[in-house]
């Protein structure tokens, strides 16, 4: 008997059938990957399981007992713990304090004192239960990303009743070394008998950490395989997800020569972040910059966009030296940044598609201080079609869209701006394979008329999309490999800091 059995689950939102007769099983002591493109139905299934949505039809059993999950509290009482993709933690509190946030009092009562010693004692007992190497007396804001993710997981597991853990894209912002630390914790939890549902867009991770995987497409479960079985049979997960033989995710490189230099950095240095960075970005090609998290990649992107001031070196746009003192100046000059953290730096999550799309070019979106509502709606609709936004609901707030579709809106902003230089930072974090292919195609389209720079900690992404590449290691550029460089050359330069 499976720990979790979901049978015949159906869910509709108006005329849209999000789930159709879905079955799903989960065993105790199993890591089960849940896969599918954005909109395939996996998020809806998880929200039903976590009590956020109510199912329309079907049954849910845990350890053989049928349960009704009509609210998040009912899910928690049933032993289901959820860690969202962007867990909310309080930075100036310790790890232990974050774990027991809301349960600080040793005794019930509004005016019961908070006992710091008791919190540490409970945290120690939790680590006895799940032996993990982490300093929970450290403030969360001082922790590396993987430790913050572990704190969020321990917060979800703080109740002894937890039997099922749902992890939503937990590795999206982790380095390779941090990812291994997280996987070590997941194996520890599995050994304790915990069942883990693991949602990821990084398909290579499925074969590294999961025992089984289930694929959703169009609101239906289309496949469920054991990882060992899938590896032996050479089953293609992308083909299952896309209902077709997955073609090349990256668009073909141009055969014509690149055009003139549009944007150039010469000896750009910012103490503690990056040093002596030089490159030339040309119209008609894509320049790729690969660097691990902490390599200075994010700081360099902000310096190129005027959000950070370099200590020395210079920037040149169309051959003229420029010094951006703010992002507004960079935008006005024709430089557009698609930031790595789209939720906090690229979008207004409470506002709709029209507002977000036109935000980067208010001169075009308004006349005499008044917004052009009709024209802006038409422009937003055309851009939504161009980036293949799904669903194409212009009045929906951005928080209601998937990560991939949020990224498409950021790109639509750039298209509306009609810039001369586009800088993409971590452009496909949390984005499924179908949306990635569309985003890469848009990058290639933009490169025909503008200079495009892609900066990413995903070596496969940089190598696959770029015509020329640079590696950034601890803030220092490592060579400028030629077109004949291999992925392994680029990876070695970014990880070891050595040109091959």
pLDDT at 157 over 60: yes
Is 248 domain-assigned? Answer: no
Are 454 and 369 contained in the same domain? yes
Q: What's phi and psi for 282, nearest 5 deg?
A: -110, 155
Is 253 domain-assigned? Answer: no
What is the reported pLDDT for 266?
96
Question: In this predicted structure, which of 1-15, 206-220, 426-440, 446-460 has the lowest mean pLDDT?
Answer: 426-440
Strand order in the sheet with 4-13: 16-26, 4-13, 57-62, 65-66
Is 255 domain-assigned? Answer: no
What is the reported pLDDT for 482?
59
Q: Are 471 and 291 in contact (CB under 8 A)?
A: yes
Is 20 domain-assigned? Answer: yes
Question: In this predicted structure, which of 46-50, 280-284, 436-440 has the lowest mean pLDDT?
Answer: 436-440
What is the reported pLDDT for 483?
57
Q: Are 301 and 337 in contact (CB under 8 A)?
A: yes
pLDDT at 79 over 80: yes
Banded pLDDT at 310 (limits 50, 70, 90):
very high
Per-residue pLDDT tens digits for 92-102: 889 898 998 87
Are 473 and 356 contained in the same domain? yes
What is the reported pLDDT for 292?
76
Domain boundary among 242, 274, 308: 242
Banded pLDDT at 348 (limits 50, 70, 90):
confident
For the beta carbon of residue 272, count every other beta carbon within 10 angstroms: 9
Are 387 and 425 contained in the same domain? yes
How confident is the model over 429-448, as a mean pLDDT? Answer: 83
Is 106 domain-assigned? Answer: yes
Are 220 and 348 contained in the same domain? no
What is the reported pLDDT for 484?
67
Q: Which CATH number fits the domain that encloses residue 274?
A: 3.40.50.300
Are 220 and 283 contained in the same domain? no
pLDDT at 312 over 80: yes
For the chain, the domain total comes to 2
Are 63 and 190 contained in the same domain? yes
Are 193 and 293 contained in the same domain? no
Question: In this predicted structure, which of 29-33, 113-117, 189-193, 327-331 has the lowest mean pLDDT?
Answer: 113-117
What is the reported pLDDT for 109?
47
Are 43 and 168 contained in the same domain? yes
What is the reported pLDDT for 105?
52
Are 110 and 235 contained in the same domain? yes
Distance CA 135, CA 154 (A): 13
Are 235 and 281 contained in the same domain? no
Is 251 domain-assigned? Answer: no
Are 444 and 476 contained in the same domain? yes
Is 140 domain-assigned? Answer: yes
pLDDT at 316 over 70: yes
Are 213 and 286 contained in the same domain? no
Question: In this predicted structure, which of 42-51, 300-309, 382-391, 489-498 has the lowest mean pLDDT?
Answer: 489-498
- Show the 3-state SS of the chain: CCCEEEEEEEEEECCEEEEEEEEEEECCCCEEEEECCCCCCHHHHHHHHCCCCCCCEEEEEECCEECCCCCHHHHHHCCEEEECCCCCCCCCCEHHHHHCCCCCECCCCCCCCECHHHHHHHHHHHHHHCCCCCCCCCEHHHCCHHHHHHHHHHHHCCCCCCCEEEEECCCCCCCHHHHHHHHHHHHHHHHCCCEEEEECCCHHHHHHHCCEEEEEECCEEEEEEEHHHHHHCCCCHHHHHHCCCCCCCCCCCCCCCCCCEEEEEEEEEECCCEEEEEEEEEECCEEEEECCCCCCHHHHHHHHCCCCCCCEEEEEECCEEECCCCHHHHHHHCEEEECCCHHHHHCCCCCEHHHHHHCCCHHHHEECCEECHHHHHHHHHHHHHHCCCCCCCCCCEHHHCCHHHHHHHHHHHHHHHCCCEEEEECCCCCCCHHHHHHHHHHHHHHHCCCEEEEEECCHHHHHHHCCEEEEEECCEEECCCCCCCCHHHHHHHHHHCCCC
Question: In this predicted structure, which of 22-26, 184-188, 204-208, 479-483 has the lowest mean pLDDT?
Answer: 479-483
Per-residue pLDDT tens digits for 96-134: 989 988 765 555 444 445 567 888 888 888 888 888 888
Is 338 domain-assigned? Answer: yes
| Residue 467 lies in domain | 261-496
Round the average pLDDT of the chain to a whole number and report it: 85
Residues 6+ apart with CB under 8 A from 88: none
Q: Which residue has the higher pLDDT, 61 or 91?
A: 61
């Amino acid at each position: 008997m499976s720990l979790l059995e979901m049978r015949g689950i159906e869910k509709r939102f108006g005329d849209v059938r999000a789930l159709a007769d879905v079955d799903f099983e989960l065993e105790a002591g199993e890591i089960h990957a849940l896969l599918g493109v954005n909109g395939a139905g996996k998020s809806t299934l998880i929200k039903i399981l976590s009590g956020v949505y109510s199912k329309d039809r079907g049954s849910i059993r845990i350890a053989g007992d049928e349960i009704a999950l009509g609210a998040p509290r009912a899910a928690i009482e049933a032993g289901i713990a959820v860690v969202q993709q962007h867990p909310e933690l309080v930075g100036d509190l310790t790890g232990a304090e974050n774990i027991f946030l809301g349960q600080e009092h040793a005794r019930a009562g509004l005016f019961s004192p908070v006992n710091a010693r008791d919190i540490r004692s409970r945290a120690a007992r939790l680590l006895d239960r799940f032996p993990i190497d982490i300093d929970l007396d450290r403030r969360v804001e001082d922790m590396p990303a993987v430790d913050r993710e572990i704190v969020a997981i321990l917060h979800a597991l703080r109740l002894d009743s937890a039997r099922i853990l749902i992890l939503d894209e937990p590795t999206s912002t982790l380095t390779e070394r941090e990812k291994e630390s997280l996987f070590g914790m997941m194996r520890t939890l599995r050994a304790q008998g915990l069942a883990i549902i693991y949602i990821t867009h990084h398909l290579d991770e499925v074969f590294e950490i999961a025992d089984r995987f289930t694929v959703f497409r169009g609101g239906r479960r289309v496949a469920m395989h054991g990882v060992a079985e899938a590896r032996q049979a050479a089953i293609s997960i992308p083909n299952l997800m896309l209902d077709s033989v997955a073609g090349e995710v990256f668009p073909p490189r141009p055969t014509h020569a690149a055009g003139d230099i549009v944007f150039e950095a010469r000896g750009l240095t910012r103490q503690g972040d990056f040093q002596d960075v030089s490159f030339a970005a040309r119209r008609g090609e894509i320049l790729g910059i690969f660097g691990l998290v902490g390599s200075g990649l994010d700081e360099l992107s902000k310096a190129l966009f005027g959000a950070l001031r370099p200590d020395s070196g210079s920037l040149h746009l169309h051959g003229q030296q420029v010094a951006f003192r703010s992002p507004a100046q960079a935008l006005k000059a024709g430089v557009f940044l698609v930031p790595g953290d789209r939720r906090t730096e690229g979008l207004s999550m409470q506002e709709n598609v029209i507002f977000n799309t036109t935000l980067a070019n208010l001169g075009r979106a308004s006349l005499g201080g008044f917004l052009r509502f009709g024209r802006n709606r038409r422009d937003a609709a055309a851009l939504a079609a161009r980036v293949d936004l799904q669903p194409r609901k212009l009045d929906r707030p951005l928080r209601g869209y998937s990560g991939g579709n949020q990224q498409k809106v950021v790109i639509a902003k750039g298209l509306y701006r009609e810039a001369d230089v586009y800088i993409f930072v971590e452009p496909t974090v949390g984005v499924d394979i179908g949306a990635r292919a569309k985003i890469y195609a848009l990058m290639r389209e933009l490169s025909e008329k503008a200079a495009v720079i892609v900066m990413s900690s995903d070596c496969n992404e940089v190598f696959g999309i770029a015509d020329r590449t640079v590696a950034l290691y601890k803030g220092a550029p490592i060579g400028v490999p030629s077109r004949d460089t291999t992925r392994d050359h680029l990876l070695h330069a970014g990880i070891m800091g050595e040109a091959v």
